Chain A
Amino acid sequence: EAQVTQNPRYLITVTGKKLTVTCSQNMNHEYMSWYRQDPGLGLRQIYYSMNVEVTDKGDVPEGYKVSRKEKRNFPLILESPSPNQTSLYFCASSPGQSNQPQHFGDGTRLSIL
Chain B
Amino acid sequence: ILNVEQSPQSLHVQEGDSTNFTCSFPSSNFYALHWYRWETAKSPEALFVMTLNGDEKKKGRISATLNTKEGYSYLYIKGSQPEDSATYLCAFYAGANSKLTFGKGITLSVRP
Please give the residue numbers on chain A whose beta carbons come within 8 Å of chain B beta carbons, in ascending order.
33, 35, 40-45, 48, 50, 56-59, 90, 97-107
Contacts and interface: CB of A to CB of B under 8 A. Distances in A.
B100 A90 contact: no
Interface string B97-110: 11111111100000
Nearest to B104: A42
Interface size for chain B: under 10, 10 to 19, 20 to 34, or 35 or more residues? 20 to 34
A42 B43 contact: no
Q: Can you list the 6 inter-chain pairs with the closest CB atoms, starting with the nearest?
A: A101-B46, A98-B93, A42-B104, A98-B32, A104-B43, A43-B102
A14 B34 CA distance: 36
A63 B49 CA distance: 31
B31 interface: yes
A91 B11 CA distance: 28
Contacts, number: 64
Nearest to B103: A42
B26 interface: no
Contact of B43 (A58, A98, A101, A105): A105
A48 B97 CA distance: 10
Nearest to A90: B43
Nearest to A105: B43
B71 interface: no
Given A99-B31, A99-B32, 8 more contacts: A33-B100, A42-B104, A43-B102, A45-B101, A98-B32, A98-B98, A101-B46, A102-B91
Interface of B: 1, 31-32, 34, 36, 42-46, 49, 51, 89, 91, 93, 95-105
B102 A56 contact: no
Nearest to B95: A98
Contacts of B42: 106
B75 to A, nearest CB: 15
A50 B43 contact: no
Given A90-B44, A106-B43, A101 B97 contact: no
B44 A45 contact: no
A64 to B, nearest CB: 14
Given A43-B89, A44-B102, A98-B32, A50 B49 contact: no
